[in-house]
Amino acid sequence: MLIFLLLTIVQSQEYNISADSEKIIDRFEQYGEIFFQEMEYMDKSFQPCHFTKQQLVQSSGLNIDIVESFNETFFVQHYEEGHLSGQIDEIIAAVTIKNGSIVLTRQGKLQHLLITNTITLGSSIQINITTTKKVHLQYFSKNRVLVIIADQETLAFQLSNNTDVFEDSQKLKLYDKFNVDQISSVTTVNDIMFIAMGKLGISIYQFKEKNFQSIPWVVNGQTSSQLQNVVDIKVFSQSQDQIYTIYVLDKNVGVQQYIYNSVTTLISQNTKLGTIPLAGDIFDVKQSVLIIIRHQPTFSSVNELELDLTNNTYRQINKYNTFKDVQDVDILNKYVIILGQNGHQVQRHSLPQKFSNQSSNSIIIPNLQQLDYIDYKNKTIIFGFTKHRFFYSSIREAPSLIVCQANYTEMLSTTFVYKQKSTKCPDNLNITKGEYCQIQKTYTINFIPPTRGGGYYYIILIYVVAFILGLGFMMLICQVCREFKKYENFVKYNEMVENDSIEMEGHNLSPSQDSKKQMKFEKIENKGSSMTPVVYEERDD
């Protein structure tokens, strides 16, 4: 329960920064949700600093094409005279299993998506099933059974325990059939499936001995129920999967809690909690957080409640409006994700209505069909499916910052007071949990022109050293090239001398002729370098 107690922390800090650069002088990362921020300058004519608000940042993630026909090759082969001659397949259902997910396409393809250290496409099988209406894909983890519920048609596969779940899988024959138009919501926990069926109430099936066994919805020994139009259902197991807590949303009545004992098969209503009289169309529950969304003609209203299941009480802590046509809502540890047809809203939950929620963001995932999440380190990893692709990305909270910048040639100084209120203080302050935190800091910022700052001369020194090193390297390259040229000339002259010697030995000259015309070659060496080429001079005796 939240305690409205503000603890005030007063501090003073002074900074010297370069006047030509933007500098972050403070950040607020361990303050929970910041719901009030204010800056007051001593000199209102010079205000070079500002604060940035907390915000949720969605990082770019991975997208994997699941439907093969959704690629450039397909369009090249089937695009004729301004239209497509082929039909593009699409994902219509998905379910999470132990080592990944399984998706079903409209053309009857079951595709396994393997999630280990990486994300890869596994094997697939083709099934024959009617997909003109909505199809529900359910996984019974206790039995490793995949169930496909179509209109008046139900299929099941006993999956293998191998990495390839379709390897040695067995098709099971089920006789139970469902009218999918009557199904509002389906959830499966272990080996039990709970179906919200609108005005028909709730149906429960246990997968046992390779078939469905119906469990009657009899509450406290009575078949009659207060439920009028059940539109959504959430179930959680406990006590070694023997006790199931069932939350039911009735479109007209509100939310009720039931307890199902799988050993005695008895169902009882938590009458101490009673009925939470907030009607809606979609809801979600996570521990003590309950969010109910009701569709309106031009928007959707969101009611957020805090549950105290120890004392069987509840209270409303927030109410706000969001976009129209909400498809689903998922409560994470810190955030709530509200799914629309294209745009989706992410923001913090469990904050009183009087506090403006600054950590909110909108993410755009066109044609989103289903969403799930995991918490990993300081990030929340969300993953899901669109009509053609699998995607995942992370959501993190960017902290509030104080940033300063001034472009002046003379030294300037400014002083301001920063005030902040947040839901918690940093852990190193040893503040009792549940208390709110109020800080007040006085900042003095001295802007130093870059020509006078030590950092400026350091940068100049780096440039000078780099220039000298570069010049020395170029001179070394030039010297090496000159020496190589000399050596090349030396080789050429030696080859010429050898050729001339061979030619002279081949001539048949008489002694008289040889004495009259004798060629001598004397070698003249340049002692300056061992690589200087040898030159031969021709003289007459």
Could you read off the pLDDT of 315-368 as tens digits, one per residue?
A: 999 999 998 889 899 998 888 889 887 678 888 888 776 665 545 666 667 677
Is 374 within the bounds of a domain?
no
pLDDT at 370: 79
Confidence of residue 376 (pLDDT cuts 50, 70, 90): low
Residue, of 187 and 512, whose pLDDT is higher: 187
Please say whether the beta carbons of 408 and 402 come within 8 A.
no
Q: Which of 428, 448, 468 is a domain's end point?
A: 448
**Lateral strand order in the sheet of 230-238:** 230-238, 243-250, 254-261, 266-269
DSSP secondary structure letter of residue 432 = P
Distance from C-alpha of 233 to C-alpha of 183, rounded to nearest angstrom: 11
Is 119 within the bounds of a domain?
no
Asked if 479 and 527 sit in the same domain, the reply is yes
User: Rounded mean pLDDT of 60-84?
Assistant: 69
Distance from C-alpha of 249 to C-alpha of 229, rounded to nearest angstrom: 8
Count Cβ atoms within 10 A of the Cβ of residue 323 and give its class: 0-12 exposed, 13-18 middle, 19 or more buried: middle
Q: 499-531 pLDDT, tens per residue?
A: 666 656 555 444 444 444 444 434 444 444 444
User: Rounded mean pLDDT of 397-423?
Assistant: 89
Is 422 within the bounds of a domain?
yes
Asked if 458 and 532 sit in the same domain, the reply is yes
> What is the total count of domains within the chain?
2
Asked if 437 and 458 sit in the same domain, the reply is no
Asked if 410 and 438 sit in the same domain, the reply is yes
Residue, of 126 and 32, whose pLDDT is higher: 126
Please say whether the beta carbons of 157 and 143 come within 8 A.
no
Question: Cα 109 to the chain's mean position, in Å?
Answer: 27
- Computed on alpha carbons and rounded to an integer, the radius of gyration of the chain in Å comes to 39
Is 254 within the bounds of a domain?
no
For tokens 């709970």, the residue is 194
Is 344 within the bounds of a domain?
no
Residues β-bridged to residue 177? none
For residue 540, pLDDT over 60 is answered with no
Lowest-pLDDT range of 163-172, 206-215, 360-369, 392-401: 360-369
DSSP reduced 3-state for 298:
coil
What is the pTM assigned to this prediction?
Answer: 0.73
Q: 81-91 pLDDT, tens per residue?
A: 666 666 778 89
Element containing residue 266 per DSSP (H, E): strand 266-269
Task: Calculate the average pLDDT of the chain.
Answer: 82
Confidence of residue 310 (pLDDT cuts 50, 70, 90): very high
Compute CA distances 396 → 50, 54, 127, 347, whole Å: 22, 11, 40, 11
Q: 95-143 pLDDT, tens per residue?
A: 988 878 899 999 999 999 887 667 788 899 999 999 999 999 999 999 9
pLDDT at 62: 74
Dihedral angle of Cα 384, 388, 391, 397, to the nearest 10 degrees: -70
For residue 17, pLDDT over 90 is answered with no
pLDDT at 47: 92
For residue 411, pLDDT over 90 is answered with no
Residue 124 has a CB neighbour count (10 Å cut-off) of 16
Residue, of 379 and 29, whose pLDDT is higher: 29
Distance from C-alpha of 498 to C-alpha of 159, rounded to nearest angstrom: 85
Residue 532 has a CB neighbour count (10 Å cut-off) of 14
Query: What CATH number did the domain enclosing 423 receive?
Result: 2.60.40
Asked if 523 and 482 sit in the same domain, the reply is yes
Asked if 407 and 464 sit in the same domain, the reply is no
pLDDT at 384: 80
Confidence of residue 465 (pLDDT cuts 50, 70, 90): confident
User: Rounded mean pLDDT of 378-386?
Assistant: 74
Amino acid identity, position 224: S
pLDDT at 286: 94
DSSP secondary structure letter of residue 89 = -
Lowest-pLDDT range of 156-160, 180-184, 192-196, 432-436: 432-436
Instruction: List, in order, residues 6 or more apart from 385 with CB less than 8 Å away.
Output: 66, 91, 94, 101, 103, 368, 369, 370, 391
Distance from C-alpha of 333 to C-alpha of 356, rounded to nearest angstrom: 19
For residue 430, pLDDT over 70 is answered with no
Closest C-alpha among 146, 152, 156, 145 to residue 131 = 152
Asked if 473 and 528 sit in the same domain, the reply is yes
Is 470 within the bounds of a domain?
yes
Asked if 13 and 36 sit in the same domain, the reply is yes
108, two tokens:
């009857």
Is 521 within the bounds of a domain?
yes
Asked if 429 and 495 sit in the same domain, the reply is no
Compute CA distances 277 → 226, 249, 285, whole Å: 13, 10, 16
The whole domain housing 467 covers 454-505+517-540
Asked if 483 and 532 sit in the same domain, the reply is yes
For residue 37, pLDDT over 60 is answered with yes
Is 37 within the bounds of a domain?
yes
For residue 249, pLDDT over 90 is answered with yes
**Lateral strand order in the sheet of 289-295:** 282-286, 289-295, 300-308, 313-322
Confidence of residue 1 (pLDDT cuts 50, 70, 90): very low
Asked if 499 and 532 sit in the same domain, the reply is yes
pLDDT at 200: 93
